[in-house]
């Protein structure tokens, strides 16, 4: 037991349950990567195995934050989905998209830039998947109107949404998960991540200028098609639109102040969802609730339990010790390793299971480093904070690295198939990987300068 | 009466490898007896006359309406878009755009079975298959109706 002796808090042994849990965890990961079985099915079955084989007690899985389902994440996701499902039929997203195309004056590249910015902002405030689902149809329509290749627009939409989603607590699932585990609030993300995302967007726009700037051309008479569109026709339900915007305003304000008011983000979102359901006068909440992406929700729940199992048996602690050995306790080196490893890992694996694993790993690492600290003192240790931001940046931006790196990418690839011009895996990588490397490189400089040189 | 008693023979049909444009042409010049009539749908059969699908004019329109149009986006189309799309999709293969889930009846199916399918699934045509699953005829909704007409009025009355 060479690892059992390091650090005072190490109390695990590599017994049968250690190996059982480890095998379930590794098999689940392998199956998720192989895509042979639907990831949600794997997560549910893996979680059930953790319980049946008595790695975890049901009470631990259902009611304990350390080993079980993180209900803060679950309810935040469900509530935001409900709000968006109620907003969608109003036509607001089509309105914004058509308005953006007109703001681009019908010029194909300018439209691409405006779409990238709008997609990034919407991804930051809502979530990437919804944004991409709502924006891409309009993108395809505009591309047909201008008689230009829709593929660059689709790829750009996914890339911009992954960059934009990095900016806020609610923008991307990794951030939601990190916020909950590390007890960080909405304004922490605004303060630490939004500035770098703004810089990243500038770099991104320069990059797409180089990649597609000259290739996207159209004829003047086709631009007139865009300019003659009347975005107001998109609004289907002005009354519900006003209610939705009001509730969205309440929710966003709630997020800004939730730290101060001592509310969890899920409380704010749940209040918004409840309020909008009430205001919508719906007698059929059934279909609004049915449209919640239950497979995603159950994927999260299953993963939390699977990861809880390997946390309990000590696998994660063992991994954290190994990481510390490699970086020899140097926190700058650790945060760089975390950021770059997270980026490449998220490009290959779904970033949700990845972050579910990394969160407890970082907490275990912190426990090794500062055995006398606990609670918020430990989670928000000044030397630990850059690690959280590195994890968030790596895991979110890494999503751009491949066609399966993020749900948004999977959606645009699916859309491209329907247009008859499939974006191949390698084609996506050819654009996504350089963008990922560029954005992570800029983030590296940001973390290094901000937290290790300026220390602010 | 049974399906085989009222079915019409299938003389012309589409091949799965026809393009949309070829299919439109075949449907346009389809003959019935000696008259050029044009049809609103045609069966898609393989070499052994086994049923692969049906292509109707609705399937054709469905193909050229872009999938991304939704109830919220149809207002943003432009004059000439349909014509553009028709050109763009003219080379799509029939096997990719035909309706593949087809309800058919065996040759000895009673007429009530045929009528039930037509009403329940809102069908215009029912292919009739023999025991080897080959298409030997087709029943249109009107053929079943004519059978009903004949029951209510004898030949003489119909003529009058």
**pLDDT exceeds 70 at position B139:** yes
**pLDDT exceeds 90 at position B53:** yes
Residue A59: per-residue pLDDT: 96
* Cα torsion angle, A241, A243, A245, A248, sign: negative
Q: Please answer yes or no on whether B70 and A233 come within 8 Å at the CB atom.
A: no
Contacts of A419 in chain B (CB under 8 A): 67
Q: Does B67 touch chain A (CB under 8 A)?
A: yes
Q: Which residues make beta-bridge pairs with B105?
A: B128
Q: Compute the average pLDDT of residues A262-266.
A: 94
The Cα of B72 is separated from the nearest Cα of chain A by a number of Å equal to: 6
The Cα of A228 is separated from the nearest Cα of chain B by a number of Å equal to: 9
**pLDDT exceeds 60 at position A378:** yes
The Cα of A412 is separated from the nearest Cα of chain B by a number of Å equal to: 12
Q: Which of A94, A230, A419 sits opposite B73 (nearest CB)?
A: A94
**pLDDT exceeds 50 at position A99:** yes
Q: Please answer yes or no on whether A138 and B73 come within 8 Å at the CB atom.
A: yes
Closest residue in chain A to residue B85, using alpha carbons only: A144
Closest residue in chain A to residue B84, using alpha carbons only: A144
Residue B34: per-residue pLDDT: 63
φ/ψ of A306, rounded to 5, equals: -60, -45
**pLDDT exceeds 50 at position B94:** yes
**pLDDT exceeds 90 at position A167:** yes
Tokens of B133: 């699953």
**pLDDT exceeds 60 at position A66:** yes
**pLDDT exceeds 90 at position B40:** no
Residue A261: per-residue pLDDT: 93
Least confident of A351-355, B90-94, B118-122: A351-355
Q: Please answer yes or no on whether A141 and B73 come within 8 Å at the CB atom.
A: yes
**pLDDT exceeds 70 at position A9:** no
Query: pLDDT band at residue A128, thresholds of 50, 70 and 90?
Result: confident
d(CA A406, CA A404): 6
Residue A5: per-residue pLDDT: 40
Query: pLDDT band at residue A420, thresholds of 50, 70 and 90?
Result: confident
Contacts of A144 in chain B (CB under 8 A): 66, 81, 84
Q: Please answer yes or no on whether B73 and A137 come within 8 Å at the CB atom.
A: yes
Q: Compute the average pLDDT of residues B48-69.
A: 92
d(CA A370, CA A454): 23
Per the model's pLDDT, the better-predicted residue between B79 and B36 turns out to be B79
**pLDDT exceeds 80 at position A13:** no
Q: Does A236 touch chain B (CB under 8 A)?
A: yes
Q: Please answer yes or no on whether B67 and A141 come within 8 Å at the CB atom.
A: no
Closest residue in chain B to residue A417, using alpha carbons only: B67
Residue A4: per-residue pLDDT: 40
Q: Which residue in the block uniquely carries the two structure tokens 């299938």?
A: B10
Q: Which of A138, A236, A418 sits opposite B67 (nearest CB)?
A: A418
Give the residue from A422, A442, A423, A421 showing the smallest Cα distance to A431: A423
Residue B31: per-residue pLDDT: 66
Half-sphere exposure in the Cβ direction for A143 (13 Å, CA) = 24
Q: Compute the average pLDDT of residues A3-13.
A: 49
Contacts of A418 in chain B (CB under 8 A): 67-68
How do beta strands B51-56 and B105-106 pair?
A: unpaired
Residue A6: per-residue pLDDT: 43
Q: Compute the average pLDDT of residues A163-179.
A: 95
Query: pLDDT band at residue B138, thresholds of 50, 70 and 90?
Result: very high
Residue A21: per-residue pLDDT: 95
pLDDT tens for A218-254 read: 998 899 999 999 999 999 999 999 999 999 999 999 9
Closest residue in chain B to residue A143, using alpha carbons only: B68
Residue B155: per-residue pLDDT: 64
**pLDDT exceeds 50 at position B8:** yes
The Cα of A442 is separated from the nearest Cα of chain B by a number of Å equal to: 36
Q: Does A416 touch chain B (CB under 8 A)?
A: no
Instruction: For chain B, positions 80-119, list CB contacts with chain A under 8 A.
Output: 81, 84
**pLDDT exceeds 60 at position B160:** no
Give start and end residues of each alpha helix (H) in A127-237: 128-146, 151-165, 173-182, 186-192, 194-212, 220-227
Contacts of B63 in chain A (CB under 8 A): none
Residue A11: per-residue pLDDT: 56
Percent of chain A with pLDDT over 90: 78
pLDDT tens for B95-108 read: 999 999 999 999 99
Q: Does B74 touch chain A (CB under 8 A)?
A: no
**pLDDT exceeds 50 at position A101:** yes
Q: Compute the average pLDDT of residues A49-71.
A: 94
Q: Does A306 touch chain B (CB under 8 A)?
A: no
Q: Please answer yes or no on whether A141 and B69 come within 8 Å at the CB atom.
A: yes
Neighbouring CB atoms inside 10 A of B29's CB total: 12
Least confident of A6-15, A187-196, A322-331: A6-15
Q: Does B47 touch chain A (CB under 8 A)?
A: no
Residue B32: per-residue pLDDT: 64
Q: Which residue in the block uniquely carries the two structure tokens 């850059």?
A: A386
* Cα torsion angle, A9, A14, A17, A18, sign: positive
pLDDT tens for A280-305 read: 998 889 989 998 999 999 999 999 99
d(CA B27, CA A202): 55
**pLDDT exceeds 80 at position B72:** no
- Asked if residues A401 and A436 have their Cβ atoms less than 8 Å apart, the reply is yes
d(CA A66, CA A69): 9
Mean pLDDT of chain B: 89
Burial of B147 (0-12, 13-18, 19+ CB in 10 A): middle
DSSP string, B54-97: EEEHHHHHHHHS-TT--TTTGGG--TTHHHHHHHHTTT-BHHHH
The Cα of B96 is separated from the nearest Cα of chain A by a number of Å equal to: 11
ipTM of this complex prediction, to 2 decimal places: 0.74
φ/ψ of A49, rounded to 5, equals: -60, -40
**pLDDT exceeds 70 at position A2:** no
Mean pLDDT of chain A: 92
Residue A355: per-residue pLDDT: 93
* Contacts A–B by Cβ distance under 8 A: 43
pLDDT tens for A438-448 read: 999 999 999 99
């Amino acid at each position: 037991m060479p690892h059992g002796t390091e650090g005072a808090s190490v109390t695990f042994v590599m017994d049968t349950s250690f190996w059982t849990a480890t095998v379930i965890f590794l098999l689940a990961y392998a199956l998720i990567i192989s895509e042979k079985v639907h990831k949600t099915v794997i997560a549910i079955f893996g979680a059930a195995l953790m319980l049946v084989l008595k790695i975890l007690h049901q009470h631990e899985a259902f009611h304990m934050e350390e080993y079980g389902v993180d209900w803060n994440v679950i309810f935040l996701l469900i509530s935001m989905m409900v709000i968006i499902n109620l907003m969608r039929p109003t036509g607001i997203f089509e309105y914004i998209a058509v308005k953006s195309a007109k703001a681009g004056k019908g010029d194909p590249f300018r439209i691409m830039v405006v779409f990238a910015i709008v997609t990034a902002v919407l991804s930051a405030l809502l979530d990437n998947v919804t944004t991409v689902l709502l924006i891409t149809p309009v993108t395809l329509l505009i591309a047909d109107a201008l008689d230009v290749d829709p593929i660059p627009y689709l790829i750009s939409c996914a890339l911009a949404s992954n960059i934009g989603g990095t900016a806020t607590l609610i923008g991307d699932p990794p951030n939601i998960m990190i916020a909950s585990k590390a007890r960080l609030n909405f304004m922490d993300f605004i303060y630490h991540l939004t500035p770098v995302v703004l810089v990243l967007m500038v770099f991104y726009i320069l990059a797409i200028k180089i990649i597609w700037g000259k290739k996207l051309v159209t004829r003047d008479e086709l631009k007139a098609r865009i300019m003659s569109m009347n975005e107001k026709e998109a609004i289907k339900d002005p009354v519900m639109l006003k209610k939705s915007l009001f509730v969205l305003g309440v929710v966003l304000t709630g997020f800004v102040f939730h730290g101060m008011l001592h509310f969890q983000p899920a409380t704010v979102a749940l209040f918004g969802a409840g309020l909008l359901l009430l205001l919508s006068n719906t007698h059929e909440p059934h279909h609004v609730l049915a449209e919640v992406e239950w497979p995603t929700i159950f994927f999260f729940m299953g993963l939390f339990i699977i990861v809880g199992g390997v946390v309990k048996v000590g696998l994660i602690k063992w991994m954290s010790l190994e990481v510390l050995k490699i970086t020899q306790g140097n926190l700058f080196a650790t945060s760089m390793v975390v950021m770059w490893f997270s980026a490449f890992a998220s490009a290959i694996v779904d970033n949700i299971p990845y972050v579910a694993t990394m969160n407890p790993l970082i907490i275990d690492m912190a426990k090794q480093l500062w055995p006398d600290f606990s609670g918020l003192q430990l989670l928000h240790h000044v030397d630990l904070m850059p690690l959280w931001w590195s994890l968030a940046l790596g895991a979110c931006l890494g999503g751009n690295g491949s066609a399966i790196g993020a749900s948004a990418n999977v959606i645009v690839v699916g859309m491209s198939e329907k247009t008859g011009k499939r974006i191949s895996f390698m084609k996506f990588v050819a654009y996504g990987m350089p963008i990922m490397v560029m954005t992570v490189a800029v983030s590296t400089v940001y973390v290094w300068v901000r937290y290790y040189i300026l220390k602010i | 009466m049974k399906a085989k008693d009222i079915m019409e023979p299938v003389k012309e049909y589409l091949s799965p490898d026809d393009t949309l444009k070829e299919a439109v042409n075949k449907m346009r010049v389809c003959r019935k007896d000696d008259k050029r009539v044009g049809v609103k749908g045609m069966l898609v059969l393989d070499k052994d006359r086994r049923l692969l699908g049906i292509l109707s004019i609705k399937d054709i329109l469905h193909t050229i309406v872009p999938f991304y149009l939704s109830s919220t986006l149809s207002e943003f189309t432009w004059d000439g878009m349909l014509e553009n799309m028709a050109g763009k999709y003219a080379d799509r293969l029939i096997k990719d755009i035909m309706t593949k889930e087809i309800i058919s009846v065996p040759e000895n199916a009673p007429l009530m079975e045929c009528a039930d399918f037509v009403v329940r699934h809102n069908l215009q045509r029912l292919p009739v298959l023999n025991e080897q699953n080959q298409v030997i005829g087709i029943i249109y909704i009107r053929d079943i109706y004519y059978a009903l007409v004949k029951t209510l009025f004898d030949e003489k009355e119909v003529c009058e």
